[in-house]
Amino acid sequence: MTTRVPWDSDSYLALARRACFICELLAGNPDYPHHVAYRDGTAIVFASKFPSVAGHFLVAPVDHREHAIADFTPVAAR
């Protein structure tokens, strides 16, 4: 994705309520396009569709998560 998309709260809410946008992005659904910078078996890094600043990227787990904190467990540093 090379152009910024103007913020449209109605469109955003319609997409957000329909499905998990990260799961849809991972599945290749064309309704949820994002520029993917990196992906492996654990995480995906992609450009924000509605960036607040140029170069705004998001990092998300590949496994579906419902809660930003409760669905994760701490991993001891090795």
Q: What is the pLDDT of residues 33-72, one digit of tens each?
A: 889 999 999 999 998 877 778 888 999 999 988 887 777 7
Q: List the domain range (segments joined by +) for residue 70.
A: 1-78
pLDDT of residue 21 exceeding 60, the answer is: yes
pLDDT for the residue numbered 3: 63
Q: Please give the span between the terminal C-alpha atoms of the chain, in angstroms, as a whole number.
A: 36
Question: What's the domain count of the chain?
Answer: 1
Confidence class for position 74, pLDDT limits 50, 70, 90: confident
Dist CA 69 CA 78 (whole Å) = 22
From residue 37, give the alpha-carbon distance in Å to each of 3, 5, 47, 71.
Answer: 15, 18, 7, 24
Given this model, what pLDDT does residue 40 score? 94
For residues 57 and 37, give the distance between their C-alpha atoms in angstroms, rounded to a whole number: 9
In the predicted model, is pLDDT for residue 12 greater than 80? no
